[in-house]
């Protein structure tokens, strides 16, 4: 049995993604936010954690990136993707009542703005830690409606007023399995390598220098995002995803090249790439 921490409460898209890769024997433990889920792994309360890292519409999940770049090192060992579809839900007794307050996660709100603006332009949007938390709060009568997954409506006994309300029907979220460093994975021929590159100080051409090391080895980058280190203005690091495995010579040489131009490198793991949608 493996104990998994995940972004809760029960009914989140993260839980749905986690159920794609776990068995009935595994234990799934919800946590209030990404930080708490990853801290559960660091402290040994969970063997692994599943957290969102990127959405095809809204972009990166900043908290996940920042948590992986700092603190006790963690390794990404796998990834999975999930098509994301949103529903507007209310309490069964309130399906014909006015909607003045709608709760949801900021990423969900960003993906449903057209629908909300068209149908409830005067409604106040309330931010919650997850879409499932919005559904749970709605079940407690804290607001008039929630935007969440259809599964959350079933979980909390809510009535769906509208399905598939997202502005982009093809939205997909990528999730990563995170654990403590251990035995390295073996190349599969379809891998992704993640790392954090810390530059010494912001300067002209810093990003170009990093990109050049991968270009020299003909390694394709699938993701790159800059984030402040938090130390002071001008200090940044780059979270990078590259095609290939650390044991592949081109990837290995590119990373070795980075060591000569970066203040530090944090290896986040080499792992099999998920299909576009599982």
How would you classify residue 79: left for phi > 0, otherwise alpha for psi between -120 and 50, otherwise beta? Answer: beta
Which one of 173, 193, 214, 238 is the catalytic residue?
173
How far, in Å, CA of 60 to CA of 174, rounded?
Answer: 10
In the 3-class helix/strand/coil scheme, how is the chain assigned residue by residue? CCEEEEECCCCCHHHHHHHCCCCCCCEEEEECCHHHHHHHHHCCCCCEEEEEEEECCCEECHHHHHHHHCCCCCEEEEEEEEECCCEEEECHHHCCCCCCEEEECHHHHHHCHHHHHHHCCCCEEEECCCHHHHHHHHHCCCCCEEEECHHHHHHHCCEEEECCCCCCCCCEEEEEEEECCCCCCCCCCCEEEEEEEECCCCCCCHHHHHHHHHHHCCCCEEEEEEEECCCCCCCEEEEEEEECCCCCHHHHHHHHHHHCCCCEEEEEEEEECCCCCC
In contact, 82 and 277? CB cutoff 8 Å: yes
Of 86, 104, 131, 175, catalytic? 175
Residue found under tokens 């035995």: 183
Told to judge if 173 belongs to the known catalytic residues of this protein, a careful annotator would answer yes
User: Is 13 a catalytic site residue?
Assistant: no
Annotated catalytic sites, by residue?
173, 175
């Amino acid at each position: 049995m493996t104990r998994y921490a995940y972004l809760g409460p029960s009914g989140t898209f993260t839980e749905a993604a986690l159920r794609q890769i776990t068995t009935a024997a595994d234990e799934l433990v919800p946590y209030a936010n990404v930080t708490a889920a990853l801290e559960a792994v660091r402290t040994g309360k969970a063997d692994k954690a599943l957290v969102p890292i990127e959405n095809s519409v809204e972009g990166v999940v900043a908290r996940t990136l920042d948590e992986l770049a700092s603190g006790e090192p963690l390794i990404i060992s796998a990834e999975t993707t999930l098509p994301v579809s949103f529903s507007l839900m209310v309490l069964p007794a309130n399906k014909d009542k006015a909607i003045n307050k709608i709760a949801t996660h900021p990423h969900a709100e960003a993906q449903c703005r057209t629908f909300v603006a068209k149908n409830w332009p005067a409604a106040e949007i309330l931010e919650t830690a997850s879409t499932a938390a919005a559904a749970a709060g709605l079940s407690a009568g804290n607001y008039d409606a929630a935007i969440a997954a259809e599964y959350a409506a079933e979980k909390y006994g809510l009535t769906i007023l509208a399905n598939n309300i997202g502005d982009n029907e093809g939205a997909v979220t990528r999730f990563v399995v995170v654990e403590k460093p251990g035995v390295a994975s073996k190349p599969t021929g379809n891998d992704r390598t993640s790392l954090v590159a810390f530059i010494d100080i912001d300067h002209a051409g810093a990003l170009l220098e990093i990109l050049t090391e991968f270009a020299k080895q003909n390694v394709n980058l699938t993701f790159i995002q800059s984030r402040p280190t938090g130390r002071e203005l001008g200090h940044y690091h780059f979270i990078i995803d590259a095609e290939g495995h650390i044991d592949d010579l081109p990837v290995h040489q590119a990373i070795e090249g980075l060591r000569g131009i970066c203040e530090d490198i944090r290896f986040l793991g080499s792992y099999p790439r998920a299909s576009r949608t599982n």
